[in-house]
């Protein structure tokens, strides 16, 4: 990948997109970042950001996407933008489909029309996972049928990845060549300043809601530090840009992670204890938590319908329970062979230090009485559900 050429990064204003922009800029690439808004946290902004061309645009707007691609003339596109990965956004089906499916279609069409050489798509484990146990899975693990996905984010990411993979080899306008594409299926992303999952988890820790564990203690899942996400994307782009390697990499999907399957709660233990809180000892069956998440989603949908749009942040969704409480991890042999991907040695230590500098040094649960009451009510609900499954004596 010639550093003198321009690349376009959709979702370049988000956490992963910004990190990718910064790394490529440091390496001498000309970078255009496209997003509806850009990270404003001063701690994430770097000196090299002034060299990034930032364009505010919505990838669901077909004409606007065409306009941006036409004007910046990128050699390749990192399609990072997505919507609905976690929390309340997971339940906004219309917006999820607009961004993840229509947005991807717009990007691919613009590539064909404006002679973009390659596309690297940021995908997820969720395209093949919906709550079934997967141990050491690989690229032979099949896509799930749409009706087997329990959340719209996973369903639409699966649809979008297949669109990207199918576009490999498509003829570019004027017979100037063929589009080259591949997909990177990332584990749960974390890192200093991550804006989707970690702030929510930290808020639960502070509010006393992180008071129990669930699922089998031997359950294993995977995570990936943002530095490894960036590494994987850079290697994939280099391979697609190579006139020989693209024949192997084009049209392929790759699992990437830190390479260390771990129990979800053990992974977050350093963060819980590092912020001065007690690691939870109570363990609840994952099935009960899944049922509670179902009720929470139902209540959320009802509130959304009654209020005409407003709703609360759900404590957990069913998809999040599956991702954190059901074993699923994959080997990266294919990414190592084809891309030369070897994950950097990363862990949660940097995240712990990040939050230590930004939060009170000692736990402060003042003004959280209502959360304690909610917590107790949730526990009572779980116990009531549990006893409903126990036959009455006599």
Distances (CA, A) of 257 to 21, 123, 192, 261: 20, 12, 17, 9
Average pLDDT over residues 180-195: 94
- 205 within domain boundaries: no
Closest CA to 11 of 166, 120, 128: 120
- 301 within domain boundaries: no
Hey, which of 27-36, 42-51, 206-215 has the most confident mean pLDDT? 27-36
pLDDT per position as a tens digit, 318-357: 888 999 999 999 999 999 999 999 999 999 999 999 999 8
What's 13's domain CATH number? 3.40.50.720
- 93 within domain boundaries: yes
Domain count, the chain: 1
- 62 within domain boundaries: yes
- 373 within domain boundaries: no
Residue 143 pLDDT: 94
- Residue 96 and residue 60: Cα distance in Å, rounded? 10
pLDDT band at residue 43 under the 50/70/90 scheme: low
Lowest-confidence region among 16-20, 42-46, 96-100, 356-360:
42-46
- 158 within domain boundaries: yes
Residue 271 pLDDT: 94
Range of the domain at 47: 6-195+219-259+328-344
Average pLDDT over residues 4-32: 93
pLDDT per position as a tens digit, 227-239: 999 999 999 999 9
Residue of 367 and 2 predicted with greater confidence: 2
Lowest-confidence region among 15-19, 92-96, 347-351:
92-96
- Residues with a known catalytic role: 153
- 94 within domain boundaries: yes
In this predicted structure, the answer to whether residue 374 has a pLDDT above a threshold of 60 is no
pLDDT per position as a tens digit, 269-283: 999 999 999 898 888
pLDDT band at residue 93 under the 50/70/90 scheme: confident
In this predicted structure, the answer to whether residue 305 has a pLDDT above a threshold of 90 is no
- 362 within domain boundaries: no
Residue of 103 and 139 predicted with greater confidence: 103
């Amino acid at each position: 990948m010639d550093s003198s050429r321009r690349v376009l990064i959709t979702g370049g204003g988000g956490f992963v997109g910004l990190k990718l922009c910064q790394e490529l800029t440091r390496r001498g690439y000309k970078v255009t970042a496209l997003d509806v808004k850009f990270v404003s946290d001063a701690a994430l902004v770097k000196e090299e950001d002034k060299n990034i061309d930032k364009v505010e645009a919505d990838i669901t707007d077909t004409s606007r996407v065409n306009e941006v691609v036409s004007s910046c003339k990128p050699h390749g596109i990192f399609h990072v933008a997505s919507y609905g990965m976690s929390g309340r956004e997971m339940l906004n089906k219309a917006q999820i489909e607009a961004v993840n499916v229509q947005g991807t279609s717009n990007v691919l069409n613009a590539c064909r029309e404006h002679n973009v050489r390659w596309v690297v798509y940021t995908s997820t484990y969720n395209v093949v996972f919906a709550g079934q146990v997967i141990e050491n899975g690989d690229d032979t693990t099949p896509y799930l049928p749409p009706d087997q996905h329990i959340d719209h984010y996973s369903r639409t990411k699966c649809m979008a990845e297949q669109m990207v993979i199918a576009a490999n080899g498509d003829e570019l306008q004027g017979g100037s060549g063929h589009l080259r594409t591949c997909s990177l299926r990332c584990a749960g992303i974390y890192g200093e300043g991550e804006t989707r999952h970690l702030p929510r988890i930290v808020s639960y820790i502070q509010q006393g809601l992180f008071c129990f564990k669930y699922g089998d203690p031997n359950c294993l899942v995977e995570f990936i530090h943002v530095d490894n996400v960036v590494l994987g994307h850079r290697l994939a782009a280099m391979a697609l840009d190579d006139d020989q390697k693209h024949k192997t990499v084009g049209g392929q999907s790759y699992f990437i992670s830190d390479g260390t399957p771990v129990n979800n709660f053990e992974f977050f233990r350093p963060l819980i204890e590092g912020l001065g809180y007690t690691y939870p000892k109570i363990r609840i069956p994952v099935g009960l938590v899944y049922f509670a998440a179902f009720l929470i989603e139902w209540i959320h949908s009802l509130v959304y319908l009654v209020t005409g749009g407003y709703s609360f942040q759900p404590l957990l969704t069913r998809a999040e329970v599956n991702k954190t409480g059901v074993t699923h991890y994959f080997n990266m042999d294919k990414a190592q062979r084809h891309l030369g991907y070897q994950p950097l040695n990363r862990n949660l230590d940097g995240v712990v230090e990040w939050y230590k500098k930004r939060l009170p040094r000692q736990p402060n649960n003042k003004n959280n009485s209502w959360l304690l009451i909610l917590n107790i009510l949730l526990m009572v609900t779980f116990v009531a559900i549990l006893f409903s499954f126990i036959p009455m004596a006599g």
